[in-house]
Amino acid sequence: MIDPDLPDRLFVALSGRTAPAPEHVFDPVSLIVTEDSAGNGLGLEERAIVEACARPLAVVEISAHLQLPLGAVMVLLSGLLDRGCVSVRHPQTHTAPATGGTGFIAWQPPDPHVLERTLVALRNL
């Protein structure tokens, strides 16, 4: 959608923001779903995200669809999340319970299903 060789256009699309809000954490395989499709006051790229996410899409899929850098998509998603236009479904993570009262959490290997979904998403780029 935006020519990545035109940094000024990307700067305008992101409203000068360089990172998502600190309270918003996006995993590349997190699913984004449209909650409010009215799109009032949204920019072209934001509107494209809202329309594309009528069905759940991973953050990396949105990046590929819009042909935008992943970081830029995360900034746009942060703004859409603040406005209530989208919601985020994070991948399930498994954590081990604290052991022995030490407060340390035992290391758990990554979930193979999450790794497989990540690999598929990367191949689709």
User: What is the pLDDT, as a whole number, of residue 121?
Assistant: 86
Phi, psi at 18, each rounded to 5°? -115, -10
**Structural domains in the chain plus CATH codes:** 7-94 (1.10.10)
Least Cα distance to 13 among 48, 41, 44 occurs for: 44
**pTM value?**
0.64
User: What is the pLDDT, as a whole number, of residue 52?
Assistant: 93
Per-residue pLDDT in tens (0 to 9) along the chain, 125 residues: 555 555 567 766 776 676 677 777 778 888 999 998 776 788 888 999 999 999 999 999 999 999 888 888 988 998 899 889 999 988 765 554 544 544 445 556 778 888 888 888 888 87
User: What is the pLDDT, as a whole number, of residue 48?
Assistant: 92
User: What is the pLDDT, as a whole number, of residue 15?
Assistant: 66
Where does the chain show beta strands of DSSP type E? 31-34, 57-58, 86-89
Query: CA–CA separation, 92 vs 8, rounded Å?
Result: 37
**Helix, strand, coil % in the chain, rounded to nearest 5:** 40, 10, 50
Structure tokens at 66: 């819009």
Structure tokens at 40: 């009032």
Spatial strand order in the sheet of 57-58: 57-58, 31-34, 86-89
User: What is the pLDDT, as a whole number, of residue 115?
Assistant: 85
